């Protein structure tokens, strides 16, 4: 039977790429080697798809942004090596703001997720079903986002976090924590996730002491940061967490404990 998909002649397709029936791949698309693209997928201009990517039925990659400021500028949507996009995932391309939307390597983006314009998703991120990311959200490496979560535009989710399903996120979530409840709050360290990702007991104790001061000392953020610097020895975790908080534009979540 003849192939029942469409690939624009200007699209660049790597070696050993499998394409399912009724899939459409437009011009100005680049797809790496050993990818599996199921049927009924649409890949619009500006898609840059790495090697060993799996895309399931109904996904739409590099659609134009849902942003009234968009004026047709040439932008891209990047999907990193080894990432899986499950059924009906949508990844919009960037706007003039950043020029690109990025999904990192070895991510699992489950069914019905939406990743809006100019988002930046790190490596090994897991997004459970039906999460919705507004424009210019940043999600750092190894974050786990529970199903049905809604993330406000410009929010920053730190690395190795665990976010409960159905969360409404309108503040930044610093690295290594669990976030839950309504309003979204700190509820402890993501200890299990840290162990799974190779953090030592000593690492976790260091991180725990930082958050003990930040969230359990009854100090405001400014004074908590001052005490962290004064009382805790310099370490990569101390500096990373302090830098995240000081550079937060939306402010970080508070404690529910």
- Is 239 marked active-site? no
* 45, HSE (Cβ side, Cα atoms, 13 Å): 10
Spatial separation of the C-alpha atoms in residues 200 and 44, rounded to whole Å: 44
Taking the C-alpha atoms of residue 149 and residue 61, their distance in angstroms, rounded to an integer, is 21
User: CA 121 to CA 197: how far, in whole Å?
Assistant: 18
User: What backbone phi and psi angles, to 5 degrees, belong to 138?
Assistant: -115, 130
Q: Say if residue 183 is preceded by a cis peptide, omega within 30 of 0.
A: yes
- Give the C-alpha separation, 92 to 252, whole Å: 27
135 as an active site residue: the answer is yes
Is the Cα dihedral 113, 244, 207, 201 positive or negative? positive
- Angstrom distance (rounded) from CA 121 to CA 123: 7
Distance between CA atoms of residues 228 and 211, nearest Å: 9
Q: Which of 67, 118, 141, 172 is catalytic?
A: 118
| From 94, 117, 122, 147, the catalytic residue | 117
Q: What is the CA radius of gyration of the chain?
A: 20
Given 50, 82, 122, 135, the catalytic residue? 135
Which parts of 3-119 are beta strand (E)? 6-7, 12-13, 18-19, 24-25, 30-31, 36-37, 42-43, 47-49, 54-55, 60-63, 76-79, 84-85, 90-92, 100-103, 108-109, 114-115
∠ CA 95-100-102, rounded to 5°: 135
Catalytic residues: 117-118, 135
């Amino acid at each position: 039977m003849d192939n029942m998909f469409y690939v624009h002649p200007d699209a660049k397709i790597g070696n050993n790429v499998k394409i399912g029936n009724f899939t459409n791949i437009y011009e100005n698309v680049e797809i790496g080697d050993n990818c599996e693209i199921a049927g009924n997928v649409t890949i619009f201009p500006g898609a840059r798809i790495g090697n060993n990517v799996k895309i399931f039925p109904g996904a739409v990659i590099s659609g134009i942004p849902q942003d009234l400021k968009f004026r047709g500028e040439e932008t891209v949507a990047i999907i990193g090596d080894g990432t899986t996009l499950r059924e009906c995932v949508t990844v919009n391309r960037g706007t003039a703001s950043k020029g690109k939307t990025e999904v990192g390597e070895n991510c699992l983006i489950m069914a019905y997720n939406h990743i809006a314009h100019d988002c930046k998703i790190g490596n090994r991120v897991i997004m459970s079903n039906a999460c919705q990311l507004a424009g210019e959200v940043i999600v750092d490496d190894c974050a786990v986002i529970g199903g049905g979560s809604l993330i406000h535009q410009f929010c920053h989710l730190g690395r190795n976090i665990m976010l409960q399903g159905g969360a409404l996120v309108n503040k930044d979530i610093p690295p290594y924590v669990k976030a839950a409840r309504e309003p979204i709050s700190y509820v402890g360290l993501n200890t299990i996730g840290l162990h799974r990702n190779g953090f030592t007991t000593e690492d976790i104790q260091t991180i725990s002491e930082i958050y003990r001061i930040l969230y359990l000392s009854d100090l405001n953020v400014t004074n908590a940061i001052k005490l962290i610097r004064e009382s805790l020895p310099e370490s990569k975790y101390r500096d990373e967490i302090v830098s995240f908080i000081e550079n937060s534009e939306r402010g970080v979540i508070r404690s529910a404990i």
